[in-house]
Amino acid sequence: MQIIKSIESLRETLKPLQREGKTIGLVPTMGALHDGHGALIKESVKDCDVTVVSVFLNPIQFGRNEDLDKYPKRLEADANFAGSLGADYVFAPSVAEMYPDGDPLTMVRNETLECLYCGAYRSGHFRGVLTVVSKLFLISKADHAYFGEKDYQQVFLIEHMVKDLNFDIKIHRVPIVRDATGLALSSRNEYLTDDERKRALAISAGLKEAKDAYLAGEKGVSKLRDIVVKSIVLNRGQVQFVEIVNQHNLQKFSGVLKPTDKIVVLVAAFFGKTRLIDNIEFN
């Protein structure tokens, strides 16, 4: 395992491998790695000759009053974790390395979808994500990139960016990893108290209950949505949004669902001061 901190060094390291025909896998992260990230790394190691894990806490995807300053930072532990799973390189540039002139004037956007759901509450978040991910793709010239489905809207936007801008890279979605209780793994889970962690299980429990109701015949959008909302509220969580949307275009469903509809339920909720996201696909 080698930690690389400059763009030039990463390019010079990967160029001869690419000339040899080695396939490069990229796992973009903000650090504070856990078993959810581990699932991404394992997929890349399985598929690719070389795996690069980027660890970069990207300031341009954080808004005012968000948790940039307190986000967990532990590069050495992250590198050891990635290496133990077979990753070859950790790319850990500084903010000055990635943005030498300050916040970039050129940004990548999806004006249709970036303001929906998470984007409605985190102004500028997704243009920050798309911009840094596009930079990582161009810097690494990776053949494959791996993203977790917990960040459903994020991976959807990245897939469309790759298609719209003709990036020569294959995007792989990796299913959500949950702990033994059902809580979706997230670096932000570290912020939860023991009590908040127990109550936060209401998110995954509500999603499962809604899916069970759907499979039992309930097709009303408002009733399915209310199942998830009720689960969170009864456990003293604060719902930011619960939306039932189309997997193909992220547009909201309303009224009664058809059997052919491809459905995903997107959730964001607070337990204490910690914002958690989750989702579930119905079919």
* Residues designated catalytic: 37
Query: Which residue type is seen at 77?
Result: A
Q: CB neighbours of 67 closer than 8 A, spacing ≥ 6?
A: 188, 191
- Report the interhelical angle of 35-47 vs 75-84 (nearest 10°): 50
Which contiguous run of DSSP H or E holds residue 134?
Answer: helix 125-140
Distance CA 121, CA 238 (A): 14
Sheet with strand 50-55: strands edge to edge: 2-4, 89-91, 50-55, 24-29, 144-148, 170-174
